[in-house]
């Protein structure tokens, strides 16, 4: 995991909120040193990596909202066919729903900026009164993606949002809501779809020359850069933020 790190608390350690949200240990046998506060669950609210999680998630929400607002007024002639516009909307809404799911796991109720709202135009928007309102907005976005996307990515471009992505994160949402019946339905659909299957060897998921195995529901892909190691800072925080779940050959990410 060393290549997923940065230096200092201002911009870095972007994957540590995963420990915060899901108790994913990075140093199982050593709760000391630079990782101690995370292993002891003793982090503080001013920790820089929590700021990174907030900022990068809302950056994705902001871009999705701007895209969706433009999509509403886009001329139909620019799309390849009558269904393309809906597919683009489904992908953008699923990205927004995913990021709100992550934010909600970390921070609870958060301001829900929707289509046309950005962090500059709606900076003072209040949080929902209850987390149920937050969950409802996330479910609506991910359900729209599930209902309008295919199991395989658009145009064969792996890295795009798919039906499997939406179903997987809907299942996670339902488990957070303790609606295990709905979660089971979504997960069973993934298994029964025939789109995915388990690798015979777990190590195949992380092999340097392995992209998009049959076990991968989703992987984030980006170009390798020369400045992605321990020295990463604010100029490359987007890379390290998604580094922990990038496609396997690109700096050893874990996929999803």
> Do 21 and 57 form a contact (C-beta atoms < 8 A)?
no
- pLDDT tens per residue, range 196-220: 999 888 877 777 677 888 999 988 7
How many CB atoms within 10 Å of residue 132? 10
Q: What local confidence, expressed as pLDDT, does residue 143 receive? A: 98
- pLDDT tens per residue, range 39-90: 666 767 777 767 777 888 898 899 999 999 999 999 988 998 889 999 999 9
Q: How is residue 149 written in tokens?
A: 């996307």
**Model confidence at 145: pLDDT above 90:** yes
Q: What is the Cα–Cα distance from 236 to 240, expressed in whole angstroms? A: 7
Q: What local confidence, expressed as pLDDT, does residue 36 receive? A: 67
- pLDDT tens per residue, range 150-190: 999 998 988 899 999 999 999 999 999 999 999 999 999 99
Q: What local confidence, expressed as pLDDT, does residue 9 receive? A: 39
Fold exhibited by the domain 44-195? 1.25.40
Q: What local confidence, expressed as pLDDT, does residue 229 receive? A: 52
What's the length of the chain? Answer: 256
Cβ neighbours for 102, distance < 8 A, ≥ 6 positions apart:
21, 53, 57
Q: What is the Cα–Cα distance from 224 to 101, expressed in whole angstroms? A: 27
> Do 255 and 205 form a contact (C-beta atoms < 8 A)?
yes
How many CB atoms within 10 Å of residue 120? 7
Q: What is the Cα–Cα distance from 193 to 171, expressed in whole angstroms? A: 15
Domain coordinates in residue numbering, the chain: 44-195
């Amino acid at each position: 995991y060393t290549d997923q790190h940065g230096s200092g608390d201002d911009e870095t350690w972007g994957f540590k909120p995963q420990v915060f949200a899901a108790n994913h240990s990075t140093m199982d046998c050593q709760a000391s040193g630079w990782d101690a506060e995370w292993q002891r669950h003793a982090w503080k609210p001013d920790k820089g990596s929590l700021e990174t999680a907030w900022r990068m998630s809302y950056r994705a929400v902001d871009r999705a909202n701007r895209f969706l607002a433009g999509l509403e007024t886009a001329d139909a002639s620019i799309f390849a066919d009558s269904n393309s516009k809906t597919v683009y909307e489904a992908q953008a809404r699923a990205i927004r729903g995913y990021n709100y799911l992550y934010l909600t796991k970390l921070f609870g109720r958060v301001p829900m900026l929707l289509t046309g709202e950005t962090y500059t135009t709606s900076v003072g928007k209040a949080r929902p009164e209850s987390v149920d309102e937050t969950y409802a907005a996330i479910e609506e976005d991910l359900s729209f993606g599930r209902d309008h996307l295919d199991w395989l990515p658009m145009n064969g471009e792996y890295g795009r949002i798919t039906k499997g992505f939406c179903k997987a994160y809907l299942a996670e949402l339902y488990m957070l809501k303790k609606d295990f019946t709905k979660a089971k339905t979504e997960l069973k659909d993934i298994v029964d779809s025939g789109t995915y299957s388990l690798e015979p060897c777990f190590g195949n998921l992380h092999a340097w020359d392995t992209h998009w195995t049959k076990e991968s529901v989703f992987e984030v892909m980006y170009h390798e850069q020369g400045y992605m190691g321990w020295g990463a800072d604010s100029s490359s925080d987007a890379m390290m933020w998604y580094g922990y779940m990038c496609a396997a050959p690109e700096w050893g990410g874990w996929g999803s």
